[in-house]
Amino acid sequence: MTHQAPDRSPLYARVESALGDRIEAGTLAPGDRLPSEDELVAAFAVSRTTVRSAIHSLIQRGLVEIRRGVGTFVVTPKITQELTNLTGFVEDMEALGRQATAKLLDQRAVPADPTVARHLMMTQGTPVTRIQRVRLADGMPLSYDETFLPSDLGEKIVADDLETEPIFALLERKYKTPLIEAEYQLQAIVANELVAEALDVPTGSPIFLIERTSYAFGGRAVDYERLHYRGDKIKFVTKLLRKSSRPRSDS
């Protein structure tokens, strides 16, 4: 006869695990309100401190959020986006079964600042086309994008409806500029007033900033973007291959 080892995990971890299992099973669905502290204390026969520790852990895991004066609610799972191929926002959302839309904020010719000039491989001050948009997934603001294009391409692109037409698709299909590869840089920042207003989040909210430079044939840089993604709504995943290591031969 085998005996099951006693559960020696802290009480709060057991409460957290039980609630987490309900969330993952769908018994507690996104938008559902968790039982009150008093109800959880009674249900699990633990202290209020234990319940609060369990809720704090669930918040840290991104499973629930506290709405002041209302209660604790299950949050919608973060969108998971792979960083393995050069794709645009519309392609990414369609692959996840979500509806992608855009809101055009501004489009104009501006002089290339040092950063834009470096990425587009041109002289500082050269005119470029800047396009500012909010990208939405199922109607939720997800990304605030700044796109910079060389003027010869940008002047064509801005004549199109950029709330319905993806820039990547326009470059490749309409303007015969296939994109071959891109360079990515990703960092965590906080939202300034401009980004916060565009994404309808408080100033200082966590943001993923992706800087992406896309190249056409011949290594020509044709698209430099600063993509500001809401840190509370998305996570990025990728797959890494380890370089093969060859044993060094003695000479």
Give the DSSP per-residue string, 151-166: HHHHHHHTTS-TTTS-
Residue 235, pLDDT score: 87
Cβ atoms of residues 212 and 222 within 8 Å: no
pLDDT value of position 33: 93
- Burial degree of 214 (CB within 10 A; 0-12, 13-18, 19+): buried
Confidence of residue 248 (pLDDT cuts 50, 70, 90): low
Identify the residue with better confidence: 8 or 213.
213
Q: 11-74, what's its fold?
A: Arc Repressor Mutant, subunit A (1.10.10)
Give the DSSP letter of residue 60.
Answer: H
**Residue 1 pLDDT > 90:** no
Is the torsion defined by CA of 108, 112, 116, 118 positive or negative? positive
CATH code for the structural domain at 79-237: 3.40.1410.10
| pLDDT at residue 101 is higher than 90 | yes
Read off the pLDDT of residues 140-174 as tens digits, 9 standing for 90 and up: 899 999 999 999 999 999 999 999 999 999 999 99
Question: Any residues with CB less than 8 A from the CB of 50 and at least 6 apart, and which?
Answer: 11, 12, 15, 44
Mean pLDDT of the chain: 90
Is 57's pLDDT higher than 60? Answer: yes
> Residue 4 above 60 pLDDT?
no
Helix (H, G, I), strand (E, B) or coil at 23: helix
Where are the chain's structural domains?
Answer: 11-74, 79-237
| pTM assigned to the model | 0.74
pLDDT of residue 97: 86
Query: What's the rounded mean pLDDT across residues 167-196?
Result: 95
